[in-house]
Structure 1
Amino acid sequence: MDENIRTLYDVQQLLKGYGIFVHLGKRLWDIELMHEELIRIHDARLIEDKVFQTAALVLKREHRYEQAKTDEQL
């Protein structure tokens, strides 16, 4: 499963499989909430460590990208 997680969309699909849909209206907020939800399903032992780590890295990368875009606009 983790080899298929490469994009934010892939993480969204992973969460969707557990009935978690995130849309707050701002991409940066969405990423932060997705990370919190990812932690919850990992703590509940619903996903393996490797899947969690891969998805968390994708979210971290996307968060850095969005934060850099926000910083440029200021």
Structure 2
Amino acid sequence: MVIAGVVAICVVLAVLAFLLPRLSHHPQRGTQRTLGLGARGANKAPGRLGRWFAKPFHSSSRAVGKSGSAGRRARGWMPF
């Protein structure tokens, strides 16, 4: 369920970044900020559990960043 949500967000951001590159930065940063809050909350677990709980949030944040930049990069390659 969570994985599907992250995939959906990545797809929406990639399409938004392709269609409206300048307007895609704000939603991307907001999503990454929200995932960062989750990672910081998960980090508060004791010991290694904190790193393990925070890892999905870090991976999701990285995926959101890559999908946004990929959409903007693809737009830059287009001839129009």
TM-score, structure 2 normalization? 0.47
Whose helix proportion is higher, 1 or 2?
A: 2
Greater radius of gyration (CA):
2
TM-score, structure 1 normalization? 0.50
